[in-house]
Structure 1
Amino acid sequence: MAPDTKQHEAMSAGSIEPGVWRYARARRVRVVVDGEEYFDAIQRAMLKARQRILMIGWDFDTRIHLTRGRRWWQKGWKKHYPSRLGSFVVWLSKQNPQLEIRILKWSMGFIKFIGRGAMVLDLLRWWPHRRIDFKFDHVLPVGCTQHQKLVIIDSDFAVCGGIDLTNGRWDTRAHLEEDPGRKRPSGEHYAPWHDMVMLMEGPVARELEELGLMRWRRAGGKVLPSVTSQEESAWPDDLDAEFEDVDVGISRSWPAMEGEAKIDEVEELFLRQIAAAKHFIYAENQYFASRSIGEAIAKRMIEDDPPEVVIVHPESAEGWLEARTMDPARNELVQAIREIDEHNRFHLYAPFSGNTQIYVHAKLLIVDDRVLRIGSSNFNNRSMGLDSECDVFIDCDRPGNEHATAGIRSIRESLLAEHLGLPVEDMPGLLEKHGSMAELIAAIGDTNARHLRPFQPGLNQEWESDLAISETLDPEEPEHLFEILPAHRGLFRPGSLLAKAKDRLTRKRSVNE
């Protein structure tokens, strides 16, 4: 079904500046770190919903339990709402017949239903409720993924970030090596998991909803009525904001399709923000495999006084295919960047709890404590050109945002404290004492249960390097999935800094052999 004119214009409208779709005001903003706090916050927000809940995600699993509410076997169950997500949605609908609940999930995730029998039953339970609607997004080109993670409630409260309401996402900020609460619906326990989202209240929610409604219509959903203003937003009670009265920028990615031009705001904004860093870049990301991100960092490393770059990411990607795709590309990029990093300013770390990897699923960028960016975009080629993504950011250089610097600095200090197993109140003094994030991390070492280990790239097998360099499994455009790689494409573009560094490494290895 073709989108209506307004929604088509919302998607095709050009950026107001390079890498930015729109800016909109937020009355309150909070960064929520890890699943324990997020599952609690989003449940409390949904309890306050009056007209519409719109959820868009890569995955969605009705079998998970939210923080509050009763389990089916507990006494007095009739007096309380259920904690299980599938039942909680039905309860919300029954409590408020005027409430719409619309859920959009990536279509290829349908195969996951094979192992989620209870979820199929939930969808059947939802079917008679005309105001509960669950759809699969199937409109992207072959090989592309619906990866945006958005929740919008009553056009005035929004969530954007990396956490889907699905299994395997819950964890506490303590990231214990073993935690009985970290359990899938099947009963299987999983390793520590780190992630985050941004909660926003105010006009920015309506802008994100416009994007979400376009996605909804493209997937075959009906036109949804406008939401009237509410006296009270869905912002969870007693949840403090970290920022107030700030402009929030929105950045998108969308592959070219059906005569529509590619939207590459996500990539363009990353390149701008990396180029603008004066002192440091602190990032958390699931991958480090993007050619364009690697080239942008490489350009900074050859400067006389480059910024410090600290990236926290998993030691290895999750799953056999992802590990075979992302890990070899990361090895190639890291080795090439380090070849030209004469000032030792480029650092990658993997977080651990004891001897167990903490899987980093977060998508965060902080630049000079003046830019805070959170969303769904990974540092891989897919997020730059194939998948639909959405990031939000606060830039203190934007008039009216000058007061946000202290809040951004506090978030960075809080995250470093979490990864290093240190009291957050000690971080300002420790960073001042050691002079840089890397020096502090080196001084702490692995003395605490939670710690950051410097990443040391291994040598790829020849076939792994060939796949990584050709970008066969992580292409930059949808059509590249089915093309033989031309000489002018690939992870190391001819004439680029990374290509020259790669050539030097190859010659050194030949001499050593």
Structure 2
Amino acid sequence: MLRGDEEQASDLPSVVSDLLAKCAQDNPDLQVYLLRWDSSLAFLGMRELWAKEVWDEKTPDNVHVQLDATIPMGGSQHQKIVIIDDEVAFSGGMDIAVHRWDTRDHNPDEGERIEEDGTYGPLHDVQCVVAGPIVQDLAELVRWRWKRLAGREAIPFRGNADDAANDMPASWPPSVRPLFRDIPCAIARTIPFMDDVEPQQEVRRMLLDLIDQAEDLIYIENQFASREEIAERLNERLKQCSRLRVLLVSSYEPEGAVEREAYWASRVAFKKILEAGIEPERILMASSSIEDDQGKVTSKRIHSKVMSIDDRYLVIGSSNLSNRSMTLDTECDLVFEARSPAQREQVVQARNDLVLEHSGCEAAQLSSYLEPGKPLRNLEHCRQPGRYGLSEVEDEQFTDQSLRSFMLPFSDPEEPLVPPLPLFNGKRTQISNPSKKMLIFGGVALVILLLAGLGYYASQHVSWLNAEAVQGFLEDTRGTYWALPAVCGIYILAGILFFPVTVLSVAVAAVFGPLWGPIYGMAGALCSAALLFGAGQAMGGDSLSRIGGSKVKRVDRKFRDSGIIGVAAIRVIPIAPFSLVNLVAGFSSIRFYQFIMGTFLGMAPLMVAKGFVGDSLAQIVISPSAQNIGYLTGGIVFWIILIFASQKLVNLYQQRKTS
């Protein structure tokens, strides 16, 4: 939450989990309630796998953590509310998450905008802090959500809603100067249908009602603009009121295919509906960017959700102009109504302050450009060297909208992905988002079962894919130049089909004997391991730690740091199928050379042991001759010696590396 000089000067931790842990430890009477949403199919890769366990592990008992998994399938818990001592409340667009810190300067090259997974670009967001009677309403909202998840009450409300507006509470942040005092404020919510809850679409109705009252200028900054109903109502009001203008500021470039083919493709449609039959100078849908001396253009990422209606209303909230924010997600917007001349001036001040940040205009110049009847497109000419400026969005360069109808129902739906199911008593029950753990583990289990089933089916129905056929094929290549390529090819094919590597190793040892059998087998195993490791990286290298969250990151980091020893240990005592280990290693952050060397050291003892046996272990059971038993005993003893020798060599290697 703090970076640079501010972080260095602070006596408190700057990471929110560390800060809450310290505050709770220093003050045992303090009670912290943290309600996180569990998961959503739409944002699966952005949520940690062990979120609750990590918080429970890092914080004392007076920090209470709950995960909300009751949102309808495909929806998300999108409210962003913090209550402090029932005296002040924060609400708006800001997530407590990575890739959210920035300053209002939004420097194109900001060294502090960096997280564990890399750097990120300029980010603009808006959050408001309030005190007074409105805090009690927000406190009741978060307590209601807590109780229905935890099944128990939080601490009773302790604030005094009758405090005079001019008396700032002790918990008000001293760095924030209030913009408004004693101004009417309302809460608008979106609450989807859940088993024990009636749906609420207050945000949707509020936005439509406010648009109907606009006469001069509607200013919007929002992460998305995909809700066609909003565009239609804006267009309708523009036609009814000839003086009205609309300025909408959003992001320039989409992040990934989902945004491009769902939200940006929908923004193309939104813009067409908004501008239909309206004079071009009355509408400007723009992004904010800056150009350096070398011609490099950097665009600002807009995450805020703000709307002002003339000088009468100011909305700051969590709701995007999207389908899901109007019906499916949980949202919370604060609506401020200016009733006095001073308050109206403050609404204009708040709006102009944001437009100045995005447009690069001077204050006096902006006031002139925003006078009633002035073309909004003049704002595009405010750009000054070294400052951000506005440019009209042209989203057709990013998408042809051909995939929009396919992506929209999953990325920006109005209804849950699975509709409510009828019950015998006439009521309905909502299928909520499955937990991320269930999705991940269920998916892994399904993949393993499918691959294992495919391997078994192939071994039973493909004539050349069984131990006898493989052994016969290898015997045909023995003594030829094709022996080694044949072994490597079979190992690669077996790895892809999840064919048991033990069966294959036994066959190779039986055909090529105690010397060349292990050599050929090791070469084939390394080829197969390298191929599947590369496949894992191609499918999303390093994603194991990114998907799993901080707890999995720690395990992955230990696995990476143990390196060769860690891989060798898994190979010596196999805890999963050979092919699965190879794929998972590719998903992890372990280095390729560590993986290959660990695989060699871990599998070498087994290969050598099988070479000494010289034939299948099954033949020892069938014909337990002294010679075969001797080979087996010698192989096992040699295996144990090599295990210890391998570990000693690796320890010595790592000691020299760190010295």
Contact 1:472 1:481 in 2 (8 A): no
* Cα separation, 2, equivalents of 1:68 and 1:447: 28
Residue 203 of structure 1, CA deviation: 1.5
The equivalent of 2:184 in structure 1 is 247
Is the aligned partner of 1:136 residue 2:67?
A: yes
Q: 1:425 to 1:198 in 2, by over 3 A?
A: farther
Q: 1:160 to 1:191 in 2, by over 3 A?
A: same
* Cα separation, 1, equivalents of 2:396 and 2:91: 35
The equivalent of 2:314 in structure 1 is 372
1:286-329 alpha-carbon deviations (Å, 9 max, x no partner): 01100211111121233361510000001233332122211111
* Cα separation, 2, equivalents of 1:67 and 1:383: 37
The equivalent of 2:348 in structure 1 is 409
More off after superposition, 145-154 vs 101-110: 101-110
* Cα separation, 2, equivalents of 1:439 and 1:288: 19
Contact 2:139 2:157 in 1 (8 A): no
Q: 1:471 to 1:116 in 2, by over 3 A?
A: closer
Is the aligned partner of 1:385 residue 2:290?
A: no
1:362-418 alpha-carbon deviations (Å, 9 max, x no partner): 000001021100000000100001000000011124xxx553111111111111111
Q: 1:442 to 1:353 in 2, by over 3 A?
A: closer
Contact 1:145 1:388 in 2 (8 A): yes
Residue 430 of structure 1, CA deviation: 5.3
State the one-letter code of the partner of 1:364.
V
State the one-letter code of the partner of 2:228.
R
Q: 1:447 to 1:340 in 2, by over 3 A?
A: farther
The equivalent of 1:444 in structure 2 is 382
Is the aligned partner of 1:179 residue 2:121?
A: no
The equivalent of 1:25 in structure 2 is none
The equivalent of 1:323 in structure 2 is 260
The equivalent of 1:219 in structure 2 is 149
Q: 1:141 to 1:156 in 2, by over 3 A?
A: same
Q: 1:104 to 1:229 in 2, by over 3 A?
A: closer
Is the aligned partner of 1:456 residue 2:410?
A: no
Contact 1:374 1:391 in 2 (8 A): yes
* Cα separation, 2, equivalents of 1:481 and 1:448: 51
The equivalent of 2:603 in structure 1 is none
Is the aligned partner of 1:166 residue 2:103?
A: no
- TM-score, normalised relative to structure 1: 0.72
287, 304, 309: which is aligned to 1:350?
287
Mapping for residues 16-31 of structure 1, pairs under 5 Å: none
* Cα separation, 1, equivalents of 2:207 and 2:64: 35
State the one-letter code of the partner of 1:387.
D
244, 249, 263: which is aligned to 2:200?
263
Mapping for residues 45-60 of structure 1, pairs under 5 Å: none
Q: 1:113 to 1:251 in 2, by over 3 A?
A: closer
Q: 1:376 to 1:183 in 2, by over 3 A?
A: same
The equivalent of 1:149 in structure 2 is 80
* Cα separation, 2, equivalents of 1:171 and 1:164: 13
Q: 1:438 to 1:342 in 2, by over 3 A?
A: closer
Residue 424 of structure 1, CA deviation: 4.2
SS across alignment from 1:219: helix
Mapping for residues 74-113 of structure 1, pairs under 5 Å: 80-108=11-39
Contact 2:287 2:393 in 1 (8 A): yes
Q: How many residues align?
A: 406
Contact 2:52 2:66 in 1 (8 A): no
* Cα separation, 1, equivalents of 2:47 and 2:279: 51
SS across alignment from 1:251: strand
More off after superposition, 344-353 vs 452-461: 452-461
Residue 475 of structure 1, CA deviation: 2.1
SS across alignment from 1:278: coil
The equivalent of 1:208 in structure 2 is 138
The equivalent of 1:125 in structure 2 is 58
Residue 182 of structure 1, CA deviation: 0.9
Residue 474 of structure 1, CA deviation: 2.0
Q: 1:297 to 1:67 in 2, by over 3 A?
A: farther
The equivalent of 2:220 in structure 1 is 283
Contact 1:70 1:82 in 2 (8 A): no
SS across alignment from 2:130: strand
279, 294, 308: which is aligned to 2:231?
294
Contact 1:288 1:380 in 2 (8 A): yes
State the one-letter code of the partner of 1:444.
C
The percent of aligned pairs where both chains have the same amino acid is 27
* Cα separation, 2, equivalents of 1:113 and 1:429: 43
SS across alignment from 1:242: coil
The equivalent of 1:193 in structure 2 is 123
Contact 2:262 2:412 in 1 (8 A): yes
* Cα separation, 1, equivalents of 2:54 and 2:193: 36
Contact 2:131 2:169 in 1 (8 A): no
Higher helix share: 2
Residue 481 of structure 1, CA deviation: 7.3
Higher relative contact order (CA 8 A, sep 6+): 1
SS across alignment from 2:36: strand
1:188-237 alpha-carbon deviations (Å, 9 max, x no partner): 11010000011101121111010011111122253112143479431012
SS across alignment from 2:33: strand
Contact 2:4 2:112 in 1 (8 A): no
Unmatched 5+ stretches in structure 1: 1-38, 41-64, 72-76, 484-513
* Cα separation, 2, equivalents of 1:271 and 1:140: 25
SS across alignment from 2:82: strand
Contact 1:252 1:391 in 2 (8 A): yes
Higher strand share: 1
More off after superposition, 218-227 vs 177-186: 218-227
More off after superposition, 442-451 vs 309-318: 442-451
Contact 1:68 1:83 in 2 (8 A): no
Structure showing greater radius of gyration is: 2
SS across alignment from 2:349: helix
Residue 445 of structure 1, CA deviation: 4.5
CA RMSD of aligned residues (A): 3.0
More off after superposition, 270-279 vs 353-362: 353-362
The equivalent of 1:62 in structure 2 is none
Residue 436 of structure 1, CA deviation: 3.5
SS across alignment from 2:39: helix
* Cα separation, 1, equivalents of 2:241 and 2:50: 59
SS across alignment from 2:224: coil
Q: 1:270 to 1:430 in 2, by over 3 A?
A: closer
* Cα separation, 1, equivalents of 2:81 and 2:329: 15
Residue 431 of structure 1, CA deviation: 4.0
The equivalent of 2:336 in structure 1 is 394
Q: 1:66 to 1:266 in 2, by over 3 A?
A: farther
Contact 1:280 1:307 in 2 (8 A): yes
State the one-letter code of the partner of 2:81.
L
1:339-377 alpha-carbon deviations (Å, 9 max, x no partner): 322464222001113211211000000010211000000
